[in-house]
Chain A
Amino acid sequence: MAMSIRNSASRRAMNQISNDFIGLRSMSSWWKSVEPAAKDPILGVTEAFLADHSPDKVNVGVGAYRDDNGKPVVLECVREAERRIAGNAFMEYLPMGGSVKMVEETLKLAYGDDSEFIKDKRVAAVQALSGTGACRLFADFQKRFCPGSQIYIPVPTWSNHHNIWRDAQVPQKTYHYYHPETKGLDFSALMDDVKNAPEGSFFLLHACAHNPTGVDPTEEQWREISQLFKKKRHFAFFDMAYQGFASGDPARDAKSIRIFLEDGHHIGISQSYAKNMGLYGQRVGCLSVLCDNEKQAVAVKSQLQQLGRPMYSNPPLHGAQIVSTILGDQELKSLWLKEVKIMADRIISMRTTLRESLENLGSPLSWEHVTKQIGMFCYSGLTPEQVDRLTREYHIYMTRNGRISMAGVTTGNVGYLANAIHEVTKSA
């Protein structure tokens, strides 16, 4: 049986040894050389905003929806779903691949209610930790199963995309996307990059409402991109974080994906409910990969699970329950679609108001892009120095790339915002 120290002589000896180890207290830390990390450029903005005591402060930094009073919103359909869940559900582990019901409903949104791919069970899909988690799982999967590959990322993109593929150790390249002169899409440079990339390259595409620019290809441009991808046998990975949020119509916002599916591509998709269901902190999303056939989809799904298991074992329950409760109930689903449209419409109306206000102030610059761009963000064209002035002089918080979260604009602050932007740009 196991040893144990019983007699008092040994105990005294142990105390002696113990005293020697008081010296441990003077040993230095293992972490002495750990440098303080740089603040996350996006989340750091909100931190700074919260620390500001000015009554005029405006947060148009992080992309979280606000109502016209500047308050965060919990959708009615979500509140109702939670009332139904509370007190009823068990809290057992979900399967490694997450909630089956939630994944089923989520795939319908991306691939279409009547998708043949879903019917033929060709989609390998797992619940993921919102969009970030879905992208990371895909990046890890790409690294493991296409180890020589790299990822082409648009310029600019959500800054965390670079972190994700870097931590997955997948080398990155960039492709042209935003055209600063037109504040629109640099389509010909984009097509050149797609053409010049080695055959079979992996590309990250924003399905709709590009973050941070709000600049999306037109339907015609998507078709051309898809045809060129076919010629080059490229892999298209779609990050769809704003379905429903861009135009107000989820089917319309999934058009790019549907075009690629029609054209026969085997795509990957990251979906998030953070914005369109307002479930930010719940971390609910889905990663899917379209495969040749059912057998392959089973294999791919099993491998995705192998990547999730050593990261968090299985995904969190509550957010998934909210999603399946809503999407599985006709009434709640209709309510959700209404609420998404209200959010999208409010943002579209704020775009119009901001643009008109700037024009009415007599701005020498063109603000056409404010209404041409789509989704939560407006790439204003403001320089980092102008952004710094906005923060210092007007207590307006946004990321230094000039990205304005339109969701943070309200009828109450749009005038103040327009005026401040005008002041810092009028002599530009």
Chain B
Amino acid sequence: MDSVFSSVARAPEDPILGVTAAYNNDPSPVKVNLGVGAYRTEEGKPLVLDVVRRAEQQLVNDPSRVKEYIPIVGIADFNKLSAKLILGADSPAIQENRVATIQCLSGTGSLRVGAEFLKKHYNQSVIYIPKPTWGNHPKVFNLAGLSVEYYRYYDPATRGLDFQGLLDDLRAAPSGAIVLLHACAHNPTGVDPTPEQWEQIRQLIRSRSLLPFFDSAYQGFASGSLDTDAQSVRTFVADGGECLIAQSYAKNMGLYGERVGALSIVCKSADVASKVESQVKLVVRPMYSSPPIHGASIVATILKSSDMYNDWTVELKGMADRIISMRHQLFETIKAKGTPGDWSHIIKQIGMFTFTGLNQEQVAFMTKDYHIYMTSDGRISMAGLSSKTVPHLADAIHAAVTRLG
């Protein structure tokens, strides 16, 4: 009997994850992986935070812990603490019980569940996303049944924010449209609005009754400060309006594979928040019934202990600082080589990624001749660099720019 799926064609490799696959297949001893955004130490190794190990041990050593299904919305403590983390412990929205928080599978899961909820219950099904954005964003929203439009964001000429373009495009969006905002450390560009620009964006969004949906994947990772990196979200919530927030603990707690995140829906009233939560459960149940227990238990253990929380902030700042120092080292090295062009965006951009401005041809050249692995849009993960590999990358960039510039 023939399979009913005989004619299924092979899907293209995911562009980001495909980079790591290619890297793994390369036998060169000088290869560098600047593809996927996972933190690496100065020795180029993945890192499990010390505080995470301690939380893990605590959990394993506790004989009273069981593996029962957790509620559809996840672990209650985890949800409360996650909301506090992004909104601030003194947030009136939390005190007034206006926030529905649901544990989800990292940032991706939070975005997808939020999008499915919007498709079912919101009167607009178009979402505006920045150009460029994380490659998976349009897929998440499309599969949830939302249509995707773009707003201008990155200005290749300045390698910074196209602020006027952003404002014009959002002003032209239909009233009530959903707007995806990167809370900090924009992926892939590393270009963030200033606080003053955020204020203008907020006013425009509120005046057009647009619905903000924040993707917060790097809180604490961008500047090193959890509060600073949450400012954009907090100023929106402070104006009393509604919004959705997708939080991820993949990077800032190094919990990548455990898939830990949270979707928060900030509502006008406690009553509305409670109804909203009940409807989100109906989205989750036919998707995976309830979220995985392990990662969220680790997060809750850390966030509820003031010692562990403090230790976490120190380790987090350590990671952010190392990335910032890699930015400076790369910038200084390129400057010293006299590579043509303005490379100051390397230190102006923030977070895990730098949008180098290199084109596809240059990237392909760097991969072939220098074994540098990065996405074809010119994005490099600074977390994958070390003091040892900065010179090699600088050489590669210099060669690419001078030969193919």
Q: Which residues in A have some Cβ–Cβ distance to B below 8 Å?
A: 1-5, 14, 17-18, 21-22, 24-25, 27-32, 34-37, 40, 43, 62, 64, 72-74, 78, 82-83, 86-87, 90-96, 129-130, 132-133, 136, 145-146, 160, 163-164, 166-168, 200, 230, 233, 235, 264-266, 274, 278-283, 289-292, 296, 298-300, 302-303, 305-307, 309-319
Q: Is the CB of B287 within 8 A of A132?
A: yes
Using Cβ atoms and an 8 Å threshold, which residues of chain A touch B56? 86-87
Pick from A2, A129, A235, A317: contact of B161, CB under 8 Å = A2
Using Cβ atoms and an 8 Å threshold, which residues of chain A touch B321? none
Q: How far is the CB of A166 from chain B (nearest CB, A)?
A: 7
Contact-size category for B? 35 or more
Q: Is the CB of A166 within 8 A of B286?
A: yes
User: Once the chains are docked, how many angstroms separate the CA of A198 from the CA of B48?
Assistant: 54
Find the B residue at minimum CB distance from A164. B286
Q: Is the CB of B274 within 8 A of A96?
A: no
> Is B81 on the interface with A (CB-CB < 8 A)?
no
User: Once the chains are docked, how many angstroms separate the CA of A310 from the CA of B111?
Assistant: 9
Which of A274, A306, A312 has the most B CB atoms < 10 Å from its CB? A312
Q: Is the CB of B109 within 8 A of A72?
A: no
Q: How far is the CB of A8 from chain B (nearest CB, A)?
A: 12
Using Cβ atoms and an 8 Å threshold, which residues of chain B touch A78? 67
Using Cβ atoms and an 8 Å threshold, which residues of chain A touch B283? 167
Using Cβ atoms and an 8 Å threshold, which residues of chain A touch B59? 86
A-B contact pairs, 26 of them (CB 8 A): A2-B160, A2-B193, A2-B194, A4-B197, A14-B200, A24-B239, A30-B211, A43-B71, A83-B60, A93-B38, A136-B287, A160-B285, A200-B4, A235-B4, A266-B2, A282-B293, A292-B2, A302-B11, A303-B8, A303-B9, A309-B108, A310-B142, A313-B136, A313-B259, A316-B294, A318-B292
Pick from B4, B69, B140: contact of A310, CB under 8 Å = B140
Q: How far is the CB of B8 from chain A (nearest CB, A)?
A: 5
Q: How far is the CB of B138 from chain A (nearest CB, A)?
A: 9
Pick from A34, A93, A230, A266: contact of B121, CB under 8 Å = A34
Of B264-272, B308-316, B332-340, B363-371, the segment with at least 4 beta carbons within 8 Å of chain A is: B264-272
> Is B278 on the interface with A (CB-CB < 8 A)?
yes
> Is B255 on the interface with A (CB-CB < 8 A)?
yes
Using Cβ atoms and an 8 Å threshold, which residues of chain B touch A290? 3
Q: Is the CB of A163 within 8 A of B286?
A: yes
Q: How far is the CB of B336 from chain A (nearest CB, A)?
A: 24
Q: Is the CB of A36 within 8 A of B136?
A: no
Using Cβ atoms and an 8 Å threshold, which residues of chain A touch B199? 14, 18
Q: Is the CB of B67 within 8 A of A18?
A: no
Task: Known contacts A21-B207, A30-B242, A31-B275; decide if A43 and B1 are in contact (CB<8 Å).
Answer: no
Q: Is the CB of B158 within 8 A of A1?
A: yes
> Is B106 on the interface with A (CB-CB < 8 A)?
yes
Q: Is the CB of A282 within 8 A of B292?
A: yes
Task: Known contacts A34-B276, A132-B289, A280-B67; decide if A91 and B257 are in contact (CB<8 Å).
Answer: yes
Using Cβ atoms and an 8 Å threshold, which residues of chain B touch A4? 194, 196-197
> Is B22 on the interface with A (CB-CB < 8 A)?
no
Using Cβ atoms and an 8 Å threshold, which residues of chain A touch B6? 292, 296
Using Cβ atoms and an 8 Å threshold, which residues of chain B touch A136? 286-288
Find the A residue at minimum CB distance from B142. A310
User: Once the chains are docked, how many angstroms separate the CA of A166 from the CA of B265?
Assistant: 25
Task: Known contacts A31-B267, A265-B1, A299-B8; decide if A91 and B255 are in contact (CB<8 Å).
Answer: yes
Task: Known contacts A91-B258, A281-B67, A281-B68; decide if A37 and B279 are in contact (CB<8 Å).
Answer: yes
Using Cβ atoms and an 8 Å threshold, which residues of chain A touch B256? 91-93
Using Cβ atoms and an 8 Å threshold, which residues of chain A touch B259? 312-317
User: Once the chains are docked, how many angstroms separate the CA of A319 from the CA of B106?
Assistant: 16
Using Cβ atoms and an 8 Å threshold, which residues of chain B touch A163? 282, 285-286
User: Once the chains are docked, how many angstroms separate the CA of A318 from the CA of B196?
Assistant: 43
> Is B183 on the interface with A (CB-CB < 8 A)?
no
Q: How far is the CB of A418 from chain B (nearest CB, A)?
A: 26
Pick from B112, B122, B140, B163: contact of A30, CB under 8 Å = B122
5 tightest CB-CB pairs across the interface, nearest first? Answer: A317-B257, A29-B268, A129-B288, A281-B293, A163-B286
Q: Is the CB of A64 within 8 A of B5?
A: no
Q: Is the CB of A311 within 8 A of B258?
A: no
Task: Known contacts A4-B194, A34-B279, A296-B6; decide if A312 and B290 are in contact (CB<8 Å).
Answer: no
Q: How far is the CB of A56 from chain B (nearest CB, A)?
A: 22
Task: Known contacts A31-B272, A311-B143; decide if A318 and B1 are in contact (CB<8 Å).
Answer: no
Q: Is the CB of A282 within 8 A of B121?
A: no
Q: Is the CB of A309 within 8 A of B136?
A: yes
Q: How far is the CB of B203 from chain A (nearest CB, A)?
A: 6
> Is B319 on the interface with A (CB-CB < 8 A)?
no
Q: How far is the CB of A4 from chain B (nearest CB, A)?
A: 5
User: Once the chains are docked, how many angstroms separate the CA of A315 from the CA of B109?
Assistant: 10
User: Once the chains are docked, how many angstroms separate the CA of A168 from the CA of B295?
Assistant: 28
Using Cβ atoms and an 8 Å threshold, which residues of chain B touch A86? 56-57, 59-60
User: Once the chains are docked, how many angstroms separate the CA of A1 from the CA of B155?
Assistant: 9
Using Cβ atoms and an 8 Å threshold, which residues of chain A touch B132? none
User: Once the chains are docked, how many angstroms separate the CA of A311 from the CA of B72?
Assistant: 16
Interface positions, chain B 64-112, Cβ under 8 Å from A, are: 65-72, 105-106, 108-109, 112
> Is B254 on the interface with A (CB-CB < 8 A)?
yes
Task: Known contacts A2-B194, A31-B276, A163-B286; decide if A43 and B72 are in contact (CB<8 Å).
Answer: yes
Q: Is the CB of B158 within 8 A of A2?
A: yes
User: Once the chains are docked, how many angstroms separate the CA of A318 from the CA of B290?
Assistant: 15
Using Cβ atoms and an 8 Å threshold, which residues of chain B touch A317? 257-259, 294
User: Once the chains are docked, how many angstroms separate the CA of A233 from the CA of B36?
Assistant: 44
> Is B17 on the interface with A (CB-CB < 8 A)?
yes
Q: Is the CB of A282 within 8 A of B294?
A: yes
Using Cβ atoms and an 8 Å threshold, which residues of chain A touch B143? 307, 310-311
> Is B139 on the interface with A (CB-CB < 8 A)?
yes
Q: How far is the CB of B275 from chain A (nearest CB, A)?
A: 5
Q: Is the CB of B14 within 8 A of A309?
A: yes
User: Once the chains are docked, how many angstroms separate the CA of A180 from the CA of B140?
Assistant: 44
> Is B398 on the interface with A (CB-CB < 8 A)?
no
User: Once the chains are docked, how many angstroms separate the CA of A164 from the CA of B140?
Assistant: 18
> Is B174 on the interface with A (CB-CB < 8 A)?
no
